[in-house]
């Protein structure tokens, strides 16, 4: 029982190897180093014991396999596995998928031109005369006699674009600022702290501005256009992304493995690029998903305040909603369609984002 | 405590200075330059030249900035292009209405959100929890102005339960004391005026509270769930304490800490929301004034508002920080 | 008649859409008045779950309890939540592992102590405060009046654990459950806390259920020991026979895993292979088999029974093993190092318990010496046996020095 092998602590990876280390019969297996050759038993004895041993091992392996074993998968792999079982994530992903498909193929499957005022003569907003859903126009006509269904389909693309571009702006600039700030802090030194302090003051300042006002001021400088809306909504997201990434990097920077890497003499820049940044990205990615929802809603609010896309040739849900408010009393459905579109889309991104947040939260991992 | 306040106030200075620089740049970047902010879009070239000379715009930038800063310190935010009255005056006049609305919305959000989040967490996975989570998700995703329209249409126009616009019914001659109509009625004993003001307040406050309510509910829920897992709750239970004591003293006191922080952060969004909500309900506060200013490119008003809001936001967060240091002994300064 | 009789306690966690997980399956033990009983095992073996089940602190949803836990005539497992609430803190009290997280960070210590007095002893105001101060004083917290006003973060680790003990003993409970009360503390503080617990037990006659993975704590404090593995008691014995003749390979392995001062340099430890996750279902056989060095096919034929150890020195030595370890010397020393084995085996024969207990790792030795002073003669006799070996070993000269002052 006491061969030298049994004294060496087993490497955890070896433990599922079926042989019981330390028994002379199996000490010849290459995986097991042996300093002292165990005395060979008599031939008959050996086979008899060996066969019993095989029985035992087989039986044990069989029983062990019956137990559920969790393998140590990576953070993202595991998160994805959990996402697939999350109802929230599935619903969110489905909504997003439908929305994206609509945004891509919408202009081709739209039955009519979204801008042609083909039924101008049938709608009289001044007298409160509107045309509701009918065979020809599934969602009715808007105040200028345009087909609402076609406008909704075509508008999906613009809406998605506003959301994506705005979020990309916020994400890129925010992550850059936050990353620089966080890296400066983690890389250490008094200079790093000072850089971080200056950047964070600036970010706090941006946070102190109500998002809408920030957007309004940008729109005031840049004039009224779709680009303005996208930039304005994106800029609002910058401080959020920056703070998030910096905070996550700070937490990672103080963690034991960074300390360990430092102690091992890994270059600081390498620590930041190879360890700190990748491990800090998950909250930022979650935020990006959530920001898509916010961006679409904010864009609608800007349109409502008259700062939206003035280009009538490009239908967009936010603008449609803003325009329909005027006729809310007579034709509430005109506002409801784009509003429902916005709400459902925003919900899709929010659901997915929240599910991702949950899936990535180490505290919730079981 | 006093030292903390002073230190935090000193910390504000760089933020506010930075903000004023930004505003100054912004003012100069406006289409038509800074004079546009004073003269409006209809000004002629001659007007502009005259104004520039008058304002010393031919002087170096830093001189201009110094002048700009001095005006800010003196609370001289310029004159509104549309009304012709000083911006500061316009704000102080309309401020109580907005504060009343914002407070009502926040009150509503806390009053409903905290208990809802708590019970959702206690019965995790139950119908109340699912309802609260779904509701708060939808609450975040509904554009505020659309919700305002919807509430107004359903409860004011169709059902007629609530007034659709304004802060006060015509014919009620309430004495104006503080500018907060509900409070005024209570102070002067004009109960009907107070009730009427409250009546007007319901729908706008509901619309405005949607986002804070959703966020507070979710935060409370998450926070309670986390605290319920804490060892000290188990300790409290192991002492055989009454459930009420465990819930209030041990669960809620800890669970509300992050919620308090969130309330401070929510004020910014609340003020943005006020702009939209006040527009829909023709609420005579700063919000609708700003909406008109945006329409009319009333830049002095916008600029003043940005500075004003930033100041309020920063002050509220200062208050939250102070409150936090009172509630949480761990951050108390000794 | 024992104060607490746990009979076939089982705890199963059931979650919708997942397999049931049985954390504790059929644990039985007794605790008598004034007795200190140890529950020993690795983390994950179900010892904490057992204690929480006894305290009624497991969530009611998603947990299935089985068996009986008879506490002076009442079954703790079937008691209504409100009756249990009355019992907790007054008759049953518990001390937890991590004193910092076990105290509410935003409530002053004073309130946390007085609230239990208000609940069970009806004390209010000044009277409660005075009593709280005297409680803190009793558990050795200096300047109790000031400490009552402070918050947990202002106290040191040992002080926090003392405060928790003060709360636990506030109503003079009949049974105290301590769940790894010293794990989160410094070595010197550990000894003080154990000393305090010992005192409380001796003075009040409180029964103490000590849950630990630290055999040093067991050696210093417990009268009787139950070794848990994968939710079952695999060995139960008085402290002495357990330390001298551990019959279950797992208990054997636990003792073999402890670094010994009297071991010659270079002699490796005898760790148990793998981890508690390498296990099979008890229904299929001995859960320890995958980690056992001498399991046989019989080990894999259903749950081994917990039975009296044949040829044990005294009665009440129970073991759950098909082929228990007969000669405890073979695992202690490898065959290949025969010369050393002889010396060590001799020591084992003469003063078995101290051979292991007094010479446990440096951090447990403090505990054991407190045990020797209060307890038995053979233990004291073991010290010289251990020390010469260590002294000749130049490198570890500092360790025995640590031993003596305590």
What is the per-residue DSSP string for C336-351?
GGHHHHHHHHHHHHHS
Question: Is C312 contained in some domain?
Answer: yes
Same domain, A282 and A164: yes
Sort out which chain B residues have CB atoms less than 8 A from A301's CB and list them: 143-145, 272, 276
CB contact (8 A) between residue C151 and residue B239: no
pLDDT at position B288: 77
CB contact (8 A) between residue B237 and residue C86: no
Interface A–B counts its CB contacts (< 8 A) at 113
Q: What percent of chain B shows pLDDT beyond 90?
A: 6
| Closest Cα in chain A, distance from residue B303 (Å) | 8
Q: Which two tokens stand for residue B278?
A: 């006040």
pLDDT at position A309: 64
CB contact (8 A) between residue B240 and residue C119: yes
Question: Is C64 contained in some domain?
Answer: no
User: Which residue of B123, B232, B255 to mutate against C (max C Cβ within 10 Å)?
Assistant: B232
Q: B218 is in which domain, residue-wise?
A: 87-331
Sort out which chain C residues have CB atoms less than 8 A from B235's CB and list them: 96, 102-104, 164, 167
> Mean of the pLDDT values across residues C47-73?
86
Same domain, A296 and A358: yes
Question: Is C281 contained in some domain?
Answer: yes
CB contact (8 A) between residue A7 and residue C330: no
pLDDT at position C368: 37
Q: Are C149 and B332 in contact (CB under 8 A)?
A: no
pLDDT at position A24: 38
What is the CATH number for A289?
1.10.3720.10
Going by DSSP bridges, is the β-strand pair C63-71/C175-179 parallel, antiparallel, or unpaired? unpaired
Sort out which chain A residues have CB atoms less than 8 A from C336's CB and list them: 2-4, 36
With 70 as the cut, is the pLDDT of residue C390 above it? no
Taking any CB pair shorter than 8 Å as contact, residues of chain A touching chain C are 1-4, 6-10, 12, 15-16, 20-22, 36, 52, 55-56, 59-60, 63-64, 66-69
Same domain, B32 and B114: no
Same domain, A178 and A277: yes
Shortest CB distance from C284 goes to which of A10, A36, A63? A63
Residues paired with residue C11 on neighbouring β-strands, in sequence order: C24, C65
Q: Which residue has the higher pLDDT, C334 or B221?
A: B221
CB contact (8 A) between residue B306 and residue A209: yes
CB contact (8 A) between residue C268 and residue A22: no
Shortest CB distance from B145 goes to which of A207, A301, A350? A301
pLDDT at position A75: 64
C372 part of contact set with chain B, CB < 8 Å: no
Sort out which chain C residues have CB atoms less than 8 A from A67's CB and list them: 279-281
| Closest Cα in chain A, distance from residue B97 (Å) | 18
pLDDT at position C1: 62
Same domain, A121 and A194: yes
CB contact (8 A) between residue B240 and residue C98: no
pLDDT at position A16: 40
Same domain, A141 and A276: yes
Q: How far is CA A264 from CA A189, A258, A259, A260, B101, in A?
A: 19, 10, 9, 6, 58
Question: Is A286 contained in some domain?
Answer: yes
Same domain, B184 and B130: yes
The last residue of a domain, from among C126, C146, C166:
C166
pLDDT at position C356: 39
pLDDT at position C393: 40
Please give the Cα distance from C382 to C103 (Å, whole number).
Answer: 40
With 70 as the cut, is the pLDDT of residue B87 above it? yes
Question: Is B43 contained in some domain?
Answer: yes
Same domain, A101 and A222: yes
Question: Is C235 contained in some domain?
Answer: yes
Long-range contacts from A171-174, C-beta under 8 angstroms, 24+ separation = A171/A237, A171/A241, A171/A284, A171/A288, A171/A291, A173/A234, A173/A235, A173/A238, A173/A241, A173/A242, A174/A237, A174/A238, A174/A239, A174/A240, A174/A241, A174/A242, A174/A244, A174/A245
Sort out which chain A residues have CB atoms less than 8 A from C335's CB and list them: 1-3
| Closest Cα in chain B, distance from residue A351 (Å) | 8
Residue C255 binned pLDDT confidence (cut-offs 50, 70, 90): confident
Those chains having 3 or more beta-carbon pairs within 8 angstroms of chain B are A, C
* Three-state secondary-structure class, residue B74: coil
pLDDT at position A28: 37
Total of domains in chain C: 2
Question: Is C177 contained in some domain?
Answer: no
Same domain, C286 and C138: no
pLDDT at position B38: 59
Total of domains in chain A: 2
Residue A168 binned pLDDT confidence (cut-offs 50, 70, 90): very high
Total of domains in chain B: 2
Sort out which chain A residues have CB atoms less than 8 A from C294's CB and list them: 1
The last residue of a domain, from among C138, C166, C194:
C166
Same domain, B156 and B296: yes
Same domain, B60 and B114: no
Sort out which chain B residues have CB atoms less than 8 A from C167's CB and list them: 235, 239
Same domain, C286 and C378: yes
Q: Are C368 and C375 in contact (CB under 8 A)?
A: no
Same domain, B245 and B203: yes
CB contact (8 A) between residue B240 and residue C86: yes
pLDDT at position B115: 92
pLDDT at position A56: 65
B230 part of contact set with chain C, CB < 8 Å: yes
Same domain, B58 and B93: no
Same domain, C358 and C239: yes
Sort out which chain A residues have CB atoms less than 8 A from C334's CB and list them: 2, 4, 6-7
With 90 as the cut, is the pLDDT of residue C270 above it? no
With 80 as the cut, is the pLDDT of residue A207 above it? no
Residues paired with residue C318 on neighbouring β-strands, in sequence order: C236, C308
CB contact (8 A) between residue A209 and residue B143: no
Q: What is the mean pLDDT of chain B?
A: 79
Interface A–C counts its CB contacts (< 8 A) at 68
**Range from A58-62, B201-205, B284-288, C328-332 carrying the lowest mean pLDDT:** C328-332
Q: Are C236 and C29 in contact (CB under 8 A)?
A: yes
Q: Which residue has the higher pLDDT, A35 or A51?
A: A51
B260 part of contact set with chain C, CB < 8 Å: no
pLDDT at position B305: 79
Q: What is the mean pLDDT of chain C?
A: 74
Question: Is A142 contained in some domain?
Answer: yes
The residue of chain B with its CA nearest to that of A302 is B276
Same domain, B165 and B296: yes
Same domain, C386 and C265: yes
What is the CATH number for B274?
1.10.3720.10
Residue C314 binned pLDDT confidence (cut-offs 50, 70, 90): low
Question: Is A297 contained in some domain?
Answer: yes
**Range from B29-33, B319-323, C8-12, C298-302 carrying the lowest mean pLDDT:** B29-33
Q: Which of A19-28, A163-172, B306-315 has the highest mean pLDDT?
A: A163-172
Question: Is C304 contained in some domain?
Answer: yes
Residues 6+ apart with CB under 8 A from C405: none
Sort out which chain A residues have CB atoms less than 8 A from C289's CB and list them: 60, 63
Q: A293 is in which domain, residue-wise?
A: 87-364
pLDDT at position B217: 92
Q: Among residues C104, C102, C105, C80, which one has the least CA distance to residue C93?
A: C102
Tell me the pLDDT tens digit for each residue of A287-346: 888 888 888 888 888 888 777 766 666 788 888 888 887 777 777 788 888 888 889 999
Taking any CB pair shorter than 8 Å as contact, residues of chain B touching chain A are 14-15, 18-19, 22, 26, 29-31, 137-138, 140-146, 149, 153, 157, 226, 268-269, 271-272, 275-276, 279, 291, 294-295, 297, 299, 302, 305-306, 309-310, 313-314
* Three-state secondary-structure class, residue B151: helix
| Closest Cα in chain C, distance from residue A362 (Å) | 19
The last residue of a domain, from among B9, B39, B74:
B74
pLDDT at position C396: 38
With 90 as the cut, is the pLDDT of residue B28 above it? no
The residue of chain A with its CA nearest to that of B292 is A305
**ipTM of this predicted complex?**
0.78
Shortest CB distance from B314 goes to which of A208, A335, A343? A208
Q: Which two tokens stand for residue C324?
A: 């228990």
Residue with tokens 């192991």: B238
Please give the Cα distance from A80 to A75 (Å, whole number).
Answer: 9
Taking any CB pair shorter than 8 Å as contact, residues of chain A touching chain B are 201-202, 204-205, 207-213, 216-217, 220-221, 223, 293, 297, 300-301, 304-307, 321, 325, 328-329, 332, 335, 339, 342-343, 346-347, 350-351, 354, 363
> Mean of the pLDDT values across residues A271-279?
79
Residue A282 binned pLDDT confidence (cut-offs 50, 70, 90): confident
Question: Is A15 contained in some domain?
Answer: no
The last residue of a domain, from among B51, B74, B97:
B74
Same domain, C146 and C275: no
pLDDT at position C344: 37
Q: C161 is in which domain, residue-wise?
A: 107-166
B333 part of contact set with chain C, CB < 8 Å: no
Predicted structure pTM score: 0.76
């Amino acid at each position: 029982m006491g061969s030298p092998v049994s004294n060496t602590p087993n490497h955890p990876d070896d433990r599922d190897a079926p042989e019981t280390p330390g028994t002379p019969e199996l000490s010849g297996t290459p995986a097991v180093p042996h300093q002292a050759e165990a005395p060979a038993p008599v031939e008959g004895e050996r086979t008899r014991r060996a066969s019993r041993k095989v029985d035992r091992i087989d039986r044990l392996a069989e029983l062990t396999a019956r137990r559920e074993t969790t393998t140590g998968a990576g953070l993202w792999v595991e998160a994805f596995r959990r996402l697939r079982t999350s109802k929230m994530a599935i619903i969110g992903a489905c909504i997003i998928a439908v929305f994206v498909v609509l945004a891509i193929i919408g202009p081709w499957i739209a039955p009519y031109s979204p801008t042609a005022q083909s039924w101008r003569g049938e709608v009289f907003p001044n007298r409160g005369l509107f045309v509701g859903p009918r065979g020809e126009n599934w969602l009715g006509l808007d105040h200028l006699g345009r087909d609402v269904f076609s406008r909704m389909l075509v508008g999906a693309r613009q809406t998605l674009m506003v959301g994506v571009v705005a979020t990309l702006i916020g994400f890129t600039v925010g992550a850059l600022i936050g990353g620089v700030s966080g890296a400066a802090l983690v890389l250490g030194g008094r200079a790093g702290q000072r850089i971080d302090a200056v950047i964070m003051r600036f970010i706090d300042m941006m946070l102190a501005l109500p998002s809408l006002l920030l957007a309004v001021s940008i729109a005031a400088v840049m004039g009224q256009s779709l680009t303005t809306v996208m930039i304005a909504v994106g800029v609002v997201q910058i401080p959020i992304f920056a703070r998030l990434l910096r905070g996550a990097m700070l937490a990672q920077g103080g963690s034991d493995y960074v300390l360990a890497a430092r102690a091992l003499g890994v270059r600081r820049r390498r620590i930041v690029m190879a360890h700190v940044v990748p491990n800090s990205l998950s909250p930022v990615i979650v935020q990006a998903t959530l920001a898509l929802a916010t961006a679409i809603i904010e864009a609608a609010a800007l349109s409502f305040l008259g700062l939206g896309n003035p280009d009538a040739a490009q239908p967009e849900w936010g603008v449609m909603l803003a325009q329909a408010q005027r006729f809310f009393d007579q034709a509430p459905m005109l506002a409801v369609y784009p509003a429902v579109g916005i709400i459902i889309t925003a919900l899709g991104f929010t659901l997915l984002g929240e599910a991702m947040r949950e899936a990535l939260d180490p505290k919730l991992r079981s | 405590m006093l030292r903390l306040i002073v230190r935090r106030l000193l910390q504000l200075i760089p933020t506010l200075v930075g903000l004023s620089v930004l505003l100054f740049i912004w003012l100069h970047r406006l289409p038509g330059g800074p004079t546009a902010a004073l003269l409006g879009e209809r000004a002629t070239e001659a007007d502009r030249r005259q104004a520039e000379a008058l304002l010393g715009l031919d002087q170096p930038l830093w001189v201009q900035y110094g002048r700009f800063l001095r005006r800010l310190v003196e609370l001289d935010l310029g004159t509104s292009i549309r009304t012709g009255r000083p911006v500061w005056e316009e704000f102080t006049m309309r401020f109580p209405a907005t504060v009343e609305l914002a407070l009502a919305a926040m009150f509503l959000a806390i009053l409903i959100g905290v208990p809802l989040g708590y019970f959702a967490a206690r019965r995790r996975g139950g119908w109340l929890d699912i309802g609260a989570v779904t509701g708060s998700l939808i609450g975040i995703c509904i554009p505020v102005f659309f919700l305002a329209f919807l509430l107004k249409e359903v409860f004011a126009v169709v059902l007629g339960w609530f007034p659709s616009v304004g802060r006060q019914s015509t014919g009620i001659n309430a004495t104006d004391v503080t500018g907060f109509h509900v409070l005024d009625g209570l102070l002067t004993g004009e109960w009907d005026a107070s009730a009427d003001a409250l009546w007007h307040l319901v729908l706008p406050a509901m619309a405005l509270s949607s986002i804070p309510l959703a966020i507070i509910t979710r935060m409370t829920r998450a926070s309670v769930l986390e605290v319920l897992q804490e060892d000290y709750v188990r300790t409290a239970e192991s002492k055989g304490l009454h459930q009420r004591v465990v819930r209030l003293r041990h669960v809620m006191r800890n669970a509300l800490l992050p919620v308090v922080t969130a309330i401070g952060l929510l004020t910014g969004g609340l003020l943005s929301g006020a702009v939209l909500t006040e527009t829909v309900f023709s609420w005579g506060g700063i919000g609708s004034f700003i909406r008109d200013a945006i329409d009319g490119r009333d830049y002095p008003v916008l600029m003043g508002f940005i500075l004003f809001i930033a100041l309020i936001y920063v002050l509220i967060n200062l208050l939250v920080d102070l409150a936090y240091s009172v509630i949480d002994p761990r951050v108390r300064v000794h | 008649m024992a104060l607490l009789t746990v009979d076939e306690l089982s705890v199963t966690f059931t979650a919708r859409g997942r397999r049931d997980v049985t954390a504790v399956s059929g644990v039985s033990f007794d605790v008598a008045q004034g007795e200190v009983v140890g529950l020993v095992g690795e983390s994950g073996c179900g010892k904490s779950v057992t204690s929480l089940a006894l305290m009624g602190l497991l969530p009611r949803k998603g947990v299935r309890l089985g068996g009986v836990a008879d506490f002076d005539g009442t079954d703790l497992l079937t008691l209504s939540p409100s009756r249990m609430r009355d019992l907790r803190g007054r008759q049953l009290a518990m001390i937890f592992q991590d004193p910092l997280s076990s105290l509410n960070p935003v409530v002053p210590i004073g309130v946390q102590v007085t609230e239990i007095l208000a609940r069970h002893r009806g004390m209010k105001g000044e009277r409660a405060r005075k009593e709280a101060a005297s409680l803190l004083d009793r558990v050795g917290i200096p300047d109790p009046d000031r400490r009552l006003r402070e918050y947990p973060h202002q106290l040191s680790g040992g002080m926090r654990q003392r405060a928790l003990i003060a709360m636990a003993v506030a109503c003079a409970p009949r049974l105290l459950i301590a769940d790894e009360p010293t794990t989160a503390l410094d070595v010197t503080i550990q000894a003080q806390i154990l000393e305090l617990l010992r005192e409380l037990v001796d003075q009040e006659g409180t029964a103490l259920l000590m849950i630990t993975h630290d055999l040093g704590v067991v050696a210093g404090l417990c009268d009787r020991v139950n070794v848990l593995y994968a939710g079952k008691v695999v060995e139960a014995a008085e402290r002495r026979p357990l330390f001298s003749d551990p019959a279950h390979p797992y208990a054997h392995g636990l003792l073999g895993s402890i670094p010994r001062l009297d071991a010659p340099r270079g002699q490796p430890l005898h760790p148990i292979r793998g981890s508690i996750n390498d296990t099979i279902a008890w229904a299929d056989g001995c859960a320890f088999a995958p980690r056992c060095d001498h399991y046989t096919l019989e080990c894999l034929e259903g749950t081994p029974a917990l039975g009296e150890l044949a040829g044990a020195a005294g009665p009440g030595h129970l073991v759950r093993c098909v082929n228990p370890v007969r000669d405890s010397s073979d695992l202690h020393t490898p065959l290949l190092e025969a010369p050393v084995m002889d010396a060590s085996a001799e020591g084992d024969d003469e003063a078995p318990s101290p051979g292991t207990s007094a010479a446990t790792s440096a951090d447990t030795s403090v505990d054991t010496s407190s045990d020797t002073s209060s307890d038995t003669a053979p233990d004291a006799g073991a010290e010289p046996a251990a020390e010469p070996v260590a002294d000749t070993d130049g490198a570890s000269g500092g360790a025995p020095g640590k031993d003596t002052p305590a």
